[in-house]
């Protein structure tokens, strides 16, 4: 059975593997604080259907309470350890089965094994409070091994800590004209791809949200990261098949180990 990846925009993807639906960092808003969705329709109701939801870190564009509140009752939700303490609104989502995880943990969901891996990123719930929780990535192991990086910078032990993977969902941009520390741009994502050496990759976390009133400020940082990642990956990791998806588009990948 092939694995199917659907990109809904930003860091939100559905991974279908072994008859199980995995949803990453759900964000189903037209507007979030000073950000508005500039490309791609708000995902349809079917995007909210999942057996397990993976939340990579506490930032509001990744742990978005209104989007989580729209999930089906009984949905399994994996969040960084300490998230309910740092984000009290999580404790009010009583219809979800919340499990706190940290790097090194493994969670069985149906026929899938979800491995929790580290990420290099600020784990605070900004802009208020010092509460921290680890920023995470996840490897979903079923018919394929799919790495969802969340938000992360490039770090020396990335390939070792993530382990062998078949598919990599890598962030290649952001939601503003400048990327701070702990992020991958197209060049750093291509370098990560060379280290991880998956069979296939999908660029995410770009070309969806942008600050209101800043459309003319460094617009290439909104439009270009996906194409730039494809170009650079062909140089640094030519053995990897890169699939640049449009919003709501899917790719089915046959993985033979």
Q: What percent of the chain has pLDDT over 90?
A: 89
**Does residue 179 or residue 168 have the better pLDDT?**
168
| Mean pLDDT of all residues in 96-121 | 97
| Mean pLDDT of all residues in 82-94 | 92
pLDDT band at 178 (very low <50, low <70, confident <90, very high): confident
What's the pLDDT at 132?
75
Give the integer Cα–Cα distance in Å for 93 and 109.
20
Residue 58 has, within 13 A of its CA and on its CB side, a CA count of: 26
| Mean pLDDT of all residues in 88-105 | 95
Q: Is the pLDDT of residue 7 over 70?
A: yes
pTM value is 0.96
Pairing of strands 106-109, 97-101: unpaired
pLDDT band at 174 (very low <50, low <70, confident <90, very high): very high
Q: Is the pLDDT of residue 206 over 70?
A: yes
Give the integer Cα–Cα distance in Å for 185 and 154.
10
How confident is the model over 57-71, as pLDDT tens digits?
Answer: 999 999 999 999 999
pLDDT band at 196 (very low <50, low <70, confident <90, very high): very high
pLDDT band at 256 (very low <50, low <70, confident <90, very high): low
Q: Which long-range contacts (CB under 8 A, 24 or more apart) does 89-93 make?
A: 89/65, 90/63, 90/65, 93/65, 93/68, 93/69
Choose among 8, 127, 9, 137: nearest CA to 60: 127
How confident is the model over 68-83, as pLDDT tens digits?
Answer: 999 999 999 999 999 9
The DSSP symbol for 124 reads B
127: cis peptide before it, omega within 30°?
yes
Q: Mean pLDDT over all residues of the chain?
A: 95
């Amino acid at each position: 059975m092939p694995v199917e990846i659907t990109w809904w925009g930003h860091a939100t993807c559905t991974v279908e593997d072994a008859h199980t639906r995995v949803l990453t960092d759900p964000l189903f808003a037209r507007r979030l604080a000073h950000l508005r969705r500039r490309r791609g329709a708000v995902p349809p109701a079917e995007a909210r259907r999942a057996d397990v939801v993976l939340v990579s870190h506490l930032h509001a564009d990744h742990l978005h309470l209104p989007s989580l509140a729209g999930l089906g009752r009984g949905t399994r939700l994996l969040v960084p350890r300490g998230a309910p303490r740092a984000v009290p609104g999580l404790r009010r989502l009583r219809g979800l089965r919340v499990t706190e995880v940290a790097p090194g943990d493994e969670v069985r969901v149906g026929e899938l094994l979800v491995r929790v891996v580290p990420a290099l990123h600020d784990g605070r719930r900004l802009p208020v409070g010092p509460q921290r929780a680890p920023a995470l990535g996840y490897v979903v192991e079923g018919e394929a091994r799919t790495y969802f990086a969340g938000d992360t910078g490039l770090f020396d032990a990335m390939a070792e800590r993530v382990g062998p993977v078949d598919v990599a969902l890598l962030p290649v941009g952001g939601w503003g004209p400048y990327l701070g520390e702990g992020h991958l741009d197209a060049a750093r994502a291509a370098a990560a791809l060379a280290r991880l050496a998956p069979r296939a990759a999908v660029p995410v976390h770009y070309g969806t949200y942008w600050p209101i009133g800043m459309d003319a400020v460094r617009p290439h940082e909104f439009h270009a990261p996906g194409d730039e990642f494809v170009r650079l990956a062909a140089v640094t990791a030519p053995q990897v098949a890169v699939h640049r998806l449009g919003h709501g588009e899917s790719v089915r990948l046959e993985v033979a180990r």
